Copies of this chain bind each other. A is one copy, B any other.
Amino acid sequence: MKFSPLVQELIQSLKCLPGVGAKSAQRMAFQLLERNRVGGKKLAESLALAMEQVDHCHSCRNFTEQDICDICASPKRQENGQLCVVESPADVIAIEQTGEFNGVYFILMGHLSPIDGIGPEELHLDVLANRLANGHFNELILATNPTVEGEATAHYIAELAKQHNINISRIAHGVPVGGELEYVDGNTLSHAFSGRKNYL
């Protein structure tokens, strides 16, 4: 005994979402069918549209339905001469919200992870190398996550960029603003000490 074919198929399809197992998928299907048909139809439409039309920006590899995303298309951004490498589109949003950075981005869509079969090719580092060779950048800012994989990826990209006569920098490690020293982990604290700056 199972649910009716269409319901069964909907539950099965919902399981492709990350973090959604059999029970959650069932709950989602029932919720949409019973209480939110409008939302369900809307979701079906947005999904179909996005899966069909959204592609990667040819320049920075961010998700966009245009050939070139808005940031890459801006002449002001291009003139700035800074290129910031991040792991995900969400990182771009976070950096944009600070208002600190006015250059262009390159989004890796992940990090090097040989165990998952993600190597330089999967991160499209050839596109990045091309941009470094052809663009007139004066600084490459490595803003991958401060994790083991992120550090390894940053190191790999730095090695790759060395030949292009360009400043290579890494975002600073240190104590986060607003935290208490007591609760900061030892690794971060030792980074904060070794990276200390002259004050006044």
Contacts and interface: CB of A to CB of B under 8 A. Distances in A.
Interface of A: 1-7, 9-10, 12-14, 16-19, 24, 26-34, 36-37, 39-54, 62-66, 69-70, 88-90, 92-93, 96-97, 109-110
Contact of A19 (B3, B4, B24, B42): B24
A43 B14 contact: yes
Nearest to A52: B41
Contact of A66 (B4, B40, B97, B110): B4
Contacts of A14: 43
Contacts of A89: 3, 7, 30
Given A6-B54, A30-B88, A33-B54, A43 B69 contact: no
A51 B45 CA distance: 12
Identical copies of this chain, number: 2
Contacts of A17: 28, 31-32, 43
B33 A40 contact: no
A28 B50 CA distance: 13
B63 A3 contact: yes
Nearest to A90: B26
B42 A13 contact: yes
